[in-house]
Structure 1
């Protein structure tokens, strides 16, 4: 029973919270995004840091590399025709990259995010194999 109580308190904690997730296009990132949306649909917002040249490209990456994957089948069935509206309401793409200071976000974006984000989950990694350890 203690395990169930712990899981319930974690799920409850995410109600109404905004979460910044890096690495959401990776294997574990997709699993995390799906799990949060499935077990806590009352999460306020998931900000997904996406490496892309512009906002439209970031949205396309989210659609093809995250939301369009089979792991989201249960959520699609649960929400039916409202699935796209649910995703639009919950997921906010952020164009940026972990290799830059402040993810490459400008001061205005950082100021707005700092007011809204409750949790940061860093699941990103660089694919540059010449990085220093």
Structure 2
């Protein structure tokens, strides 16, 4: 015997009864897709990094600076894969200014981002 009463799917108008609260199989993916779209609307930087202008600036910067700056300082030659904003955009850094851009490998970019998140005020 079930321990709780069945509950209807949370999608408006759906008659399916479920043993656990939530969405039925037919509406679960729709609910997740709508949530993701709404969430993306809050992150203004996501659209910026997908823009054609940023992609062109990034590609040109990597052509001019093909090696990771921090690896080069350590005496290693590693290809740069990420164009990082020295001063993050959220902190008022210029989006397209070459003086605010840095060519880094994934390892050094992730380490820098972790430090920024850890010491965020």
TM-score relative to the length of structure 2: 0.23
If each structure's strand is expressed as a fraction of its own residues, which one has the higher value? 1
Q: With a CA cutoff of 8 Å and minimum separation of 6, indicate the structure with the bigger relative contact order.
A: 1
If each structure's helix is expressed as a fraction of its own residues, which one has the higher value? 1
